Amino acid sequence: MVALTATDFGNFITHPLMKPPSPPMNSNNKIDRSSSRLTFLKNGVSLDPSLGTVIFYGMYAGSKWKFRLQRAAENAEKADIQASLVEPGENADRNMNYEEMEKALALSTSQFFNQMVFELDGTFLSFEDMMLTDKGREPSVMLSLRIKVEKFPSPGIEF
């Protein structure tokens, strides 16, 4: 288990060792390679333990998007993410179907979290489950991670 505050979560999703998410897929599961890669933003993360949600932001195709992460319903994927447009950018594609893109971003980011592998010099962490708590000085998201150790990290490696 790893406890992350809102600041910690922002640092986690933007960490240089974190492999960036794949390009969004449309509802037909076709990858949209025409636009830029989705990048998460470090700032603006908020945690709501009463709703069990993590809100964070990202940029895609010149526009800012809001992501709402929560634990998935039983018998489903482990993380469920909803995406919504915050503001189209100045150079955003005016012909973009934003409703379709919201679905595509929700699908690709949900898959990203559920299939995520964070490699720490021979130690591999993958997402298993999550919960939010308001115990402690500030709210935190508790991530349950599976750990596979092929080798222990080298001394002095910076994470």
Which of the 8 DSSP states describes residue 31? B
Look at residue 27 and tell me whether its pLDDT is greater than 60. no
**What pLDDT is attached to residue 23?**
66
β-bridge pairing 123-133 and 140-149: antiparallel
What is the pTM (predicted TM-score) of this model?
0.82
Look at residue 83 and tell me whether its pLDDT is greater than 80. yes
Asked if 38 and 76 touch (Cβ cutoff 8 Å), the reply is: no
The mean pLDDT value for 131-158 works out to: 83
**Predicted confidence (pLDDT) per residue in 96-130, tens digit:** 678 888 888 998 898 888 888 877 778 888 888 88
Burial string for 119-133 (b: 16+ CB within 10 Å, else e) reads eeeeeebbbeebebe
Domain ranges within the chain, ordered by starting residue: 2-149
Burial string for 5-31 (b: 16+ CB within 10 Å, else e) reads bbeebbebbbeeebeebebbbeeeeee
For the chain, what is the mean pLDDT?
Answer: 82
Q: If pLDDT is split at 50, 70 and 90, which confidence band does 61 have?
A: confident
CA separation, residue 73 to residues 56, 79, 108 (Å): 20, 9, 18
